Amino acid sequence: HTLGHYHSCRTEHVQQAVDAALAAKADWAATSWENRAAIFLKAAELIATKYRPYINGTTMLGQSKNAYQAEIDAACELADFLRFNVHFLSEIYAQQPISGPGMHNRLEYRPLEGFVLAVSPFNFTAIGANLPAAPALCGNTVVWKPAGTQVFSAQMTMRIFEEAGLPPGVINMIPGDGPTVGDVCFSHPDFAGVHFTGSTGVFNNMWKTVGENMHRYRSYPRIVGETGGKDFVLAHPSADVDAVVVGLLRGAFEYQGQKCSAASRAYIPSNLAAAVREKLVAGVESFRMGSVEDFSNFINAVIDEKSFDKISGYLDHARQNAKILVGGTSDKSIGYFVKPTVIEAEDAAYRTMCEEIFGPVLSLHVYDETKFDDILTTVDTTSPYALTGAIFAQDRSAVELATNRLRNSAGNFYINDKPTGAVVGQQPFGGARASGTNDKAGSPLNLYRWLSPRTIKETLVPVTDYRYPFLGEA
């Protein structure tokens, strides 16, 4: 089906977006906090009511999400981002220094000097909206480049923002390819920061480009990014088998595994392996796969042909070099459908245990149940990423050991739960190592990055003599 058409920007369009952001900056920064907040609170209310079916529908059709996945993303999480950001920023503004006798001290939380570039991914409508909205709420003006495969819901987001009262030029959405947008924005002297979610490779290149252009900028840009993941589920010998299996079925295969937090490698102890295999395979075989328009389908198509071909390549390699427990096939004759796949790898360093696939593929390694300590080291050292991870155990000492040993292995760590589904205001989201700057979207930590505080001291009754009392001593 053809849902619509959009125009991909050229260099002059990017420059126009930057010019519009800079032209709107002074008025937007001078807009009172109460009125900035009201715009985004109204947008949240519109998303939760009038536009709920539209933001969900554009997400379902444009990004191949089933109704449940669209609802928890495009409606619920997006409204949460907007409302909680207002709450958190109110708390930040209230944080003020003490004042000594005869003086009044205050902190002014200014927006950054220049414009912010927001670059968003295809997989979450809420992230797409929050990347430009969070800096804008802080008084910044933004150039927003959504993923080409998210344009349908992105334009709906902009319609909602405009109806909520967002002035022209505050958020400037400009679809197009990354290099075209980046060449203009990263070389502009008023570039003040980038808010990014996407691949580690692209973010690394952004960081390099910003470094090479430092001599051009008015100030040091803020670089905030959430990137890739190779997220783990570790089962201890004491784990509940059913809990592990459900954690894997949901954590690995919801939204076809196209979440940066999706479970993509699992470590199962030998005493539980047979039961986990049996129930996991049965669960995968029970999935219905097809169009999002059929609400009985748990699995839908992957996002595009490029993704389909990449995932299919991993499946081809696994058929020759590992054991496929279930799935392992793909078909793009009527859509980019990849059957949910579980690969068992005897080698814990097999490529699908290490590399980010971003599809409905879970790799499983069975370890000796007596070597839990050794597998903790394997989990920590296998991947360059550190986004999400989970431990399943009923033995509390094992939970504590894993929590401590895997302290730097995941920015979001889950105990007896799947490693996906972070909720705004409850589990601030972000990881470190090659997974990003860990600035925790959905928390005050992220908002601080879009503020430049100015300290103001006012002396109430100025002194009129430079001499200190000791100078009069004989």
Tell me what pLDDT residue 146 has. Answer: 98
- Summarize the confidence of residues 362-384 as an average pLDDT: 98
Q: Class of 11-227+436-458 per CATH?
A: alpha beta
The token pair at 128 is 């797409």
- Which of 110, 144, 82, 33 is CA-nearest to residue 448? 110
- Summarize the confidence of residues 158-164 as an average pLDDT: 98
In 3-state terms, what secondary structure has residue 213? Answer: coil
Band of pLDDT at residue 451, cut at 50, 70 and 90: very high
- Phi first, then psi: give them for residue 286, nearest 5 degrees: -85, -10
- Mean pLDDT, the chain, rounded, equals 97
- Phi first, then psi: give them for residue 387, nearest 5 degrees: -95, -70
> Rounded distance, CA 70 to CA 64, Å?
9
How many angstroms separate the Cα of 431 from the Cα of each of 38, 355, 409?
31, 17, 9
Asked whether the predicted pLDDT for residue 202 surpasses 80, the reply is yes
Q: Where are the beta strands (DSSP E) in 112-160?
A: 115-119, 141-145
Tell me what pLDDT residue 293 has. Answer: 96
Q: For tokens 């075209």, what's the residue?
A: 180
> Rounded distance, CA 249 to CA 418, Å?
9
For the chain, give every domain's residue range: 11-227+436-458, 231-415
Mind giving me the DSSP string for 269-305? Answer: ETTTHHHHHHHHHHHHHH--BS-TTSTT-SB---S-H
pTM: 0.96
Tell me what pLDDT residue 1 has. Answer: 77
Q: For tokens 């010998």, what's the residue?
A: 237
Q: Class of 231-415 per CATH?
A: alpha beta
Band of pLDDT at residue 437, cut at 50, 70 and 90: very high
In 3-state terms, what secondary structure has residue 473? Answer: coil
Using CB atoms within 10 Å of the CB of residue 471, give its burial: 0 to 12 exposed, 13 to 18 middle, 19+ buried.
Answer: exposed
In 3-state terms, what secondary structure has residue 443? Answer: coil
| Active site (catalytic) residues | 226, 260
- Summarize the confidence of residues 343-368 as an average pLDDT: 98
Task: Please enumerate in sequence order all residues whose Cβ is within 8 A of that of 112, keeping only pairs 6 or more positions apart, or say none.
Answer: 135, 140, 192, 193, 219, 222, 450, 451, 452
The token pair at 330 is 């793909």
Q: What percent of the chain stands above pLDDT 90?
A: 98
Name the amino acid, one letter, at 454: R
Q: What angle do CA 152, 309, 7 make, to 5 degrees?
A: 30
pLDDT per position as a tens digit, 53-102: 999 999 999 999 999 999 999 999 999 999 999 999 999 999 999 999 99
> Rounded distance, CA 176 to CA 179, Å?
9
Tell me what pLDDT residue 338 has. Answer: 98
